[in-house]
Structures are given as C-alpha cells and as structure tokens.
Amino acid sequence: MSTTLDLLRIHRVRPLRKYGQSFLTDDQVFLKIVAAGNLKKDDVAVEIGAGLGVMTAMLADRVSRVVAVEVDPNLVDILRENLREKKNVEIVNRDILTYDFPEADPMTPERKIKVMGNIPYNITSEILFHLLACRNHVHSAVLLMQKEVADRITADPGVKAYGIPTVILSMYADLENLFDVSNRCFYPVPAVQSSVIRLTFHNAPRYPLKDEEFFRRLVRAAFAQRRKTLLNNLKSFRKIEVSAAGLAAVLAGLGIDGARRAESLTLAEFAALSNAFS
C-alpha cells in the first residue's frame, strides 16, 4: 500500500496546479532516492517540497536534522501533524527560491548540507541555479525531475541536449543521472517521465576561471541561437570588444574552429574561451 495515497485520502488533499503538485506514490522509489543521498548520521538535510512528509520521515531517521521546505500552507499543517514525533525536523513554509540554505545549519556554518527533493517541474532550472548560487553551503543534491531536463543536464558535448545548464552546472558539480521513474508512480499521473539526478558540488570551478560571471555570460551568448556558428553568436556578444577578425584570430589561437556550434565545445574549451576574452 502506498503511504502517500493513504495520506492523500485521509487528509482529502487535492493536488494544486499553481504549485505544480504531482505526488510520488511509490514508497520504494522514496527509499531509492534517500539511499542515493549517501546520508550520514551527523548530516543536515534540506528537503525541497516536503509534500505529505513521507520522505521527510525517512530522512529524519537517517540524519541529525531535517529542514522540510514546503510552499503550500495546507500541506504544512499536515506535515506538522504527521511529523510531530520527529523532533529533529523543522518545517518551513516558504518558496524554495527564497530559502537561504545556510539557515539550515546556523550553528555549524562550515558544514555543508545535503539537499533532497521531488522538485516542481515548472521551476526546475530556477531551483538548480539557486543551488548553484548557494554551492558554498551545499555538499550535494539528489533531485527527482522531468526526464527530459535530467537528460539535458547530464548530456555530453556533441549531442542536441547539451546546452547552457549542462555547461554551467558541470563547471561546478559532478552530474549523475541515477535512474528513471515511471509516470505511473505519481498522482496525478503526469504526461512526462521522470529521472533522479545527483549533483555533487566542488569547492572551486573544475577549470580555473579569471571571471566566473563572464564565463556564465559567454556560455549563454554562445548558445544564443543554436543553429548559428560559435563565431556568429559571439559577434553579437557585447562583452567581447574586438573586431570580427580579432575574434576569429583568438578562436584560431585556441585551436577552436569558429564554424563549430556551441554544443560541440567541451567544458575545457569554454573555460579557455572565457579566459581569453575576460
């Protein structure tokens, strides 16, 4: 029997479209997600979208402290009722995009937290880049998301799925696509399939960068129009103040053919390109 379906029935919960709610109903998948967190007893975990608290309870049995972040105030009341015996759980009613992750462990700021969650598909990119911005306080994140997005994030250079999130996130984290989850494991059943990925953040960029903000801007400019060549996209990038001939010369000096498209460049090539112009 699904714990989630029981709770939905008991509390008469109806998923709300405005929060992008689709409840995971397979307890075995919850267990697999928790196992993927590689949790230790002294860890602090933040759960994104705690929902009805099924995974929250599992996390509470494995770590020293859990911060369950839930935006839906109706679910917060249910969480407080269902988890009242879990003394190491703090329930926070907030949009995860406004949550400051250092708040999770204020007494030990040098300890990095672990993030878990079944995240709303409509704000997946925003959540990922919010985690990236907080990477100095986050050790890793295990997230359930739309399969198409997971495939894009973990794509290799040279394939169509490879793009801006792949390049920027992989500069700061190891990205692993762990396993797929059928849409039949959710209520209501979504039209898309899902996957679980793990991000493990680095203390520094994978390659040295002269200017990290410039690197992110350059990557976005390189992919601005995917059908255009790298050279043509970078000609429109106002942060590069050189002539077209000068731009072509720099690319040639780096051993990068300007006729290539951005999706063919490796992370090392993007780093070299950024440092050459920053």
pLDDT digits (tens, 9 = 90+) for 193-216: 999 999 999 999 999 999 999 999
Confirm whether 262 is domain-assigned.
yes
Q: Does residue 114 share a domain with residue 225?
A: no
Tokens of 248: 């072509």
What is the per-residue burial (b if ≥16 Cβ within 10 Å, else e) of 8-21? Answer: beeeebeeeeebbb
Closest residue by Cα to residue 201 from 131, 146, 153, 96: 131
Q: Does residue 190 share a domain with residue 249?
A: no
Distance CA 240, CA 234 (A): 8
Distance CA 196, CA 73 (A): 26
Count of structural domains within the chain: 2
Here the CATH number for the domain that contains residue 246 is 1.10.8.100
Q: Does residue 163 share a domain with residue 59?
A: yes
pLDDT digits (tens, 9 = 90+) for 204-257: 999 999 999 999 999 999 999 989 999 999 999 988 888 889 999 999 999 999
pLDDT digits (tens, 9 = 90+) for 60-97: 999 999 999 999 999 999 999 999 999 999 999 999 99
pLDDT of residue 89: 98
Residue range(s) defining the domain that contains residue 268: 212-277
Confirm whether 76 is domain-assigned.
yes
Q: What's the pTM value of the predicted model, to 2 decimals? A: 0.93
> What are the residues facing 186 on neighbouring strands?
24
Q: Does residue 258 share a domain with residue 178?
A: no
Domain boundary (201, 235, 256) is at 201
Confirm whether 17 is domain-assigned.
yes
H-type helices in 223-266, by residue range?
230-235, 244-253
**How many Cα atoms within 13 Å fall on the side-chain side of residue 232?**
9
Mean pLDDT for the stretch of residues 122-127: 94
pLDDT of residue 107: 83
Domain boundary (145, 178, 201) is at 201
